[in-house]
Amino acid sequence: MIHFKEIGKIMGALLVLIALLMLPGVIFSLHFDEDPWPILSSVVITMVIGVTLFFSFSKQDQNIRKREGYLIVALSWVFMAGFGMLPYILSNQIVSFEDALFETMSGLTTTGATILTDIEAMPKGLLFWRSMTQWIGGLGIIVLTVAIFPLLGIGGIELFVAESPGPTSDKVHPRISETAKRLWYVYVGLTFLATILYWVGGMTFFDAINHALTTLATGGFSTKNNSMAYYDSAFIQYVAIIFMFLAGTNFTVIYFGLIGKFKRVLKSDEFKVYSLALLGIAIVLYYPIFAHGGVSHELAFRKSLFQVVSIVTTTGFVTDDYTQYSEGVTFICFMLLFLGGSAGSTAGGIKFVRHLTFIKNSWLEFKRLVHPRAIVPLMINGDRVTGRIITHIMNFLLIYLLTFVLGSLALSLMGYDLATSLGAVATSLANVGPGIGRVGPEDNFAFFSPAAKIFLSVIMLLGRLELFTLLILFTPFFWRAN
């Protein structure tokens, strides 16, 4: 039996938090002499409904079970998308439901795809809210809520597991609320540092804070039409590379590094593979970019490294059109959409730990064939991986591939060419932003039909919640009493 009282109370807390996070947008609107009422009205509506929900349900003694955890996470994203659309609609900057849904879902899922054709013409307060949606979605609104609202009096581990990206959610503290708080300290600290460095590098303070929010969220929303290409600055681009890399790293690994537990950092197989893979792929792409002509060795490597880090960490910032070089470069960049960052990071995608588990298990299968009676354990980070986790990862990879194939088929049946269908579904499912075809680095998603925009919004949510969290709600046994 599902306990809806706990769900209602947490939905109220979420809406209160969303309303509070809208307030900076009001401040920026006033600062830039813009009309603050669209965002302020959204704050009032969201706050009133949130407070009403929160106090309509009494404090419960029961802990949240896995079933409620999955339902709360799924509903929270629906609620956030619904109320997150209000500033766009009330300001008349985005008038259609499907466009507002797409832009909001793209923000909350940190996808970074957009339907806006002239970003710089948007009100500054609205642009800040747009960036804030990505920052909220980055490490997960559920983690933030568990960290700030322990007064709910209900457990949080099921929420943390359902929300955290990747197959693991390593705890840095026995208490889940303390784990969430410490991860958010890292998140906020890195965002503050990125803001300062962007500002020092030549961005205005407004642009600096917006890009810091979307960098650490691996979201990729920018205040400029040309994204990071607008800033012809090696310093700014290298700062972006460093912070995109950190945002794509498991935040528990970063935390252990900050407190001096470097052995825990070096123990992470995923971190080592992630780091070497980014460097290796950047070196591979450096030559065709340099051979294309007109750039120095440093600029060619910077362009290569920036795009590789941006795509793999699913940030989606753009400094160059990778489709201009060759079909080979385009194909490599397309395949990068299927990598993803590290588990426990703000990145989307499949995640390196799943690839690592799949490759290691496949390699060990050859040994098992030769020695059928031998016990050949699969080790990750020096620990044995259980059969249940291996099965879960294999199922995830299969469902991910199936979702990509069926999604691409559905989009192509709507009348879009194959490259665009493949690129749009792959980038939406991985929460990246740019893809191939008509959704390349210099394009946007404005040309899609209303049905296609809603469909891609669902694909984004599926990818952000790592498939199972959302799909499990459509299984009959989820709703059974026992």
**Mean pLDDT for the chain overall:** 87
Q: Which of 294, 287, 285 is nearest to 312 (CA)?
A: 285
Q: State residue 151's pLDDT score.
A: 38
| Residue ranges of domains in the chain | 368-478
What pLDDT, in 10s, does the model give residues 406-435?
A: 999 999 999 999 999 999 999 999 999 999
What is the C-alpha separation between 133 and 167, in angstroms, rounded?
A: 24
pTM: predicted TM-score of the whole model, two decimal places: 0.90
Q: State residue 293's pLDDT score.
A: 75
pLDDT at 356 over 80: yes
Q: State residue 152's pLDDT score.
A: 38
- Could you list the residues known to form a binding site, using ranges: 110-111, 219, 314-315, 431-432
Average of per-residue pLDDT across 439-448: 92
What pLDDT, in 10s, does the model give residues 274-303?
A: 999 999 999 999 999 998 877 899 999 999
What pLDDT, in 10s, does the model give residues 175-208?
A: 566 777 788 889 999 999 999 999 999 999 999 9
What pLDDT, in 10s, does the model give residues 98-127?
A: 999 999 999 999 999 999 999 999 999 999
Q: State residue 168's pLDDT score.
A: 55
Residues of the chain above pLDDT 70, percent: 89
- Could you list the residues known to form a binding site for K(+), using ranges: 110-111, 219, 314-315, 431-432
Q: State residue 466's pLDDT score.
A: 85
Confidence of residue 155 (pLDDT cuts 50, 70, 90): very low
